[in-house]
Amino acid sequence: MSTKHASGHQLHVSLGDGLWDALHNLAEHTGESVSHIVRRSLADSLDLDHHTIYQVSTSGALVEGVYQGCVRVADLKGHGDFGIGTFDGLDGEGIMLDGICWQARADGSVRVAPDTALAPFWATTFFAADSTTTLQRVRSWDDLSRQLDQLRRSDNLFCAIRIDGVFETIHYRVACKSAYGTDLVTATSHQPEFRESSVRGSLVGFWTPSYARTINVPGYHLHLLSDDHQKGGHILDLQASDLSVKLHMDNHVHLALPETPSFLTADLQRDSAEDLAKAERKNN
């Protein structure tokens, strides 16, 4: 029997003691939730590709102010259970974790994104960790980036990243709704920023090779979702200890280009890397 909730479908099944114990033993050994193990096993059985990123639109289009939503959250869920993006009109930061899509908003609130919500830019994948590591100490965003660099096995493959733990301090921002056509540098110049302490949660996102800078944000791009689902946003800086890091390498990219009027008529010929870097950095 199954039921449908705002956070997705729930499947109710009966398991024998042997399978139940095996699931919990594996969860204890890997640090993954039982739900995540079951979803991953189902995806394997259904031959869903774990190593493909499905991406809507491009970072270059986002820089030029192409914010018109073109893909429903419900459709994004058909291509992955993990990812980040934004919503129609740049209305907040999107985080998809364990198959649930969350919307962090400029007022500091976080909600489950409706299946009908539209995204103008998004990247998602079916997450299955290729490696799991513990980072004993992270002193800053730059320090985290350096340590993650040592864990990736190639600078030429895309990498999905999940980081779980308690963040002693964390600094993040949330994009606020802007008029279509407002360039990204202008739109993010007045975005709210938040500084919090002792936040337990997850960082969700991707590392993108520099050669793909017109497609997605080059380097590391991570969003926060706190375990209590009260905090979320685009990470600017952090300090933490004993973080669990899971890396998932992606060697296929499925790029879905919008056919909205704003995308079809946008001038995407210029190199937007400098503007993208300005928009990604903290304001101060």
Looking at the chain, the number of H-run helices and the number of E-run strands are 8, 16
Name the pTM for this structure: 0.82
Model confidence at 3: pLDDT above 60: no
Tokens encoding 133: 């590591």
| 32-36, 158-162, 175-179, 229-233: least confident range | 32-36
d(CA 199, CA 146) in angstroms, rounded, equals 22
Q: Give per-residue pLDDT as tens, 172-189.
A: 999 999 999 898 999 888
> In the chain, pLDDT over 90 holds for what percent of residues?
69
pLDDT band of 40, cuts 50, 70, 90: low
Domains of the chain: residue spans and CATH: 49-284 (3.30.1330.80)
Averaged over 111-124, what is the pLDDT? 97
Q: In the prediction, which pLDDT does 284 show?
A: 39
